A and B are shown apart, each in its own frame.
Chain A
Amino acid sequence: MLALLWIELNKIFRRPRTYIAFGAMAAIVWLIQLALYFDGQAYVDLMLSNLSGAFEFSEVFKKQLLNGYLICFVILNTLLIQMPLLVALVAGDAIAGEASQGTLRFQLTRPISRSQLILIKFAASAMYVIALLIWLALLALAGSVLLFGMNDLVVLRSTGIDQMQSDDVLWRYLAAFGFASMALITVAALSLLLSVLADNPIGPIIATMSVVIVFTILSELNIPLYDTTVKPWLFTTHMVAWKGFFYVQADAEGTTLRGSIENLPAIMRSLGILVGYIILFLGTAIYIFKRKDILT
């Protein structure tokens, strides 16, 4: 099994196009960092415009606010919505790509079971996701901290502002990256399921993105009817739960409680729902793949 996994990883990481994803991510991260390095002031002003009536913001404050931790948060906020595409590029290709190349025959005429093959491909996709996130952590977290320094993290939410001290942030990022990996692994499982249904990798990649986009729009729509019926069950609603690690508790006087998480049970519930989706997607993929006639 390990040897087979090694083969799959070898296939993924020996392919030049795998690195397009890594390159694309580096490009986006660097562009954001570059923009904020030279024009961070404008961004901070925009961010604070809603607050300038009640507070005064000195240059020092703005500089402190625009620290590596905040920039990493901004990057995750923009990039984690785009990353499903990069995941679909690999996971959507896992079966359909081999089908279109004809190499699926090469594998399925060997003495390994189809469910084993799906599980191996899933494991390889999951490891690719983790590699992408480690890469992202290096660029967005370590890179931003090196460039912009470390300070307290101020998170703007629609209903308020959560501030946590700089030495109370790193563990939250570790947890958030961990959660984000589960969220993206859910996308990988969906992509793999769609990949089983197709004989050409373009279909599952586009289909994955379509599902993610439609679900994300539904998740963000403010329609009361959907709030309690549809939204709680969309996996995209729960994919952003990594942010929950940056929502802190405060005491009665509004003082941030160190090391606190506002709603850990909700994050765990989101995690549970994502795991449920992974099992559902994988189970369906195995069920279909075991019965599929390989005609390519």
Chain B
Amino acid sequence: MSSLVRVSHLSKRFGSFQAVRDVSFEVQAGQVYGFLGQNGAGKSTTLRMLMTLIRPSSGSIEVFGMDLLRHRRAILRQIGAVIEKPDHYGYLSAYENLRMAAVLCGIRPTRKKLMEQLDFVGLADRYKSPVKTFSQGMKQRLGIATALVHEPSLIILDEPTNGLDPQGIADIRELIRRLSREQGKTLIVSSHLLSEIELIADSLLILHQGEKRMEGALRDLLNPAETVAEFELSNRALTDSVFASIDFIASVDWRSEQQCCVRLPKNEIPEIVRRLTEAGVRIQSVASRHSLEYYFLQLTQTESHASAVVD
């Protein structure tokens, strides 16, 4: 596989605010690449830099093996994007918006072709309606149609499921799957919900406070063999001494005097429960999460804890 997108040491500063700090990643052809992070983590800023909407303060972006800023037009001809929410001209119809997008890309598709594309996103029967009469989900789908109108090989979708109802979310998910599997497109999709990314992405990058926190193939990150067990129990000192004697524990993280998270192989949970019980530790509850969810939750909770302090 070859790298379609190669981002190195990308940073963006707005005045004194560092929005993105030294972020590097690569996207391989044919992948669905997930961008995960809370609101304000720097996802949109990074994607905007990829679309040349924002100039990086430092770092470089290569797309299709070319420098983005130097070969902007040639590269953008091959990228389709919906950044943040899709916005159209409300007083124009879906068809007209789509045709406008095509002209902006320098192409003149036939009516048949445009109707096919509207059909692909399920809007063929509403092609004449002004976009201002559309629901959020329909606008999102039209946004995807306009991003696809010039048949790009790389598609960037920024929070495509934001503000959609469950059916809308399912529709978009299905669209992304079809683009990837049936059409072999490369996609970069961002979301603040791990559950979303989990369902569609092959690879994942977690951004937090403008920095890259984690990157890798989803199947590695979601290693089924490893888990994080969350215990609620009685005696911290005793528990620590038990943990110290167990060699399959990868890490222990005390959240409070009664709460701790233990990273360990999934099949060892009964063993650790047995050892703790034997040592006389009272276990009130135990829950198992996969490690990525645990990690992301940790980021999120640190954040909400911090904001609670500010409040």
Contacts and interface: CB of A to CB of B under 8 A. Distances in A.
Interface of A: 3-4, 6-7, 10-11, 14-16, 101-103, 105-113, 291, 293-295
B101 A110 contact: yes
Contacts of B106: 111-112
Given A109-B81, A109-B83, A111-B105, A11 B89 contact: yes
Contact of B54 (A11, A110, A113, A295): A295
Interface of B: 14, 48, 51-55, 72-74, 76-77, 79, 81, 83-92, 100-101, 103-106, 108, 146
Nearest to A293: B54
B104 A101 contact: no
Nearest to A101: B87
B53 A105 contact: yes
Contacts of A110: 76, 101, 104-105
Contacts of A107: 104
Contacts of A105: 51, 53, 83-84, 87
A3 B103 contact: yes
A294 B89 contact: no
A103 B88 contact: yes
Closest 9 CB pairs of A and B: A102-B87, A110-B104, A294-B53, A111-B76, A111-B73, A293-B54, A111-B77, A109-B51, A3-B103
Contacts of B14: 293
Contacts of B73: 111-113
A93 to B, nearest CB: 13
A14 B150 CA distance: 24
Contacts of B105: 110-111
Contacts of B81: 109
Contact of A106 (B48, B72, B77, B146): B146
A254 B72 CA distance: 66
A103 B87 contact: yes
Contact of A102 (B48, B74, B77, B84): B84
Contact of B88 (A16, A106, A113, A294): A106
B53 A14 contact: no
Given A14-B91, A102-B84, A103-B88, A7 B103 contact: yes
Given A11-B89, A14-B92, A16-B91, A106 B52 contact: no
Contacts of A111: 72-74, 76-77, 104-106
Given A15-B91, A109-B51, A294-B48, A102 B104 contact: no
Instruction: Give the residue among A14, A108, A110, A113 with the most B Cβ atoms within 10 A.
Output: A110
Instruction: Give the residue among A101, A103, A106 with the most B Cβ atoms within 10 A.
Output: A106
A45 B127 CA distance: 61
B89 A103 contact: yes
B76 A4 contact: no
Instruction: Give the residue among A15, A113, A293 with the most B Cβ atoms within 10 A.
Output: A293
A102 B55 contact: no
B75 to A, nearest CB: 8
A86 B14 CA distance: 35
Contacts of B89: 11, 101, 103
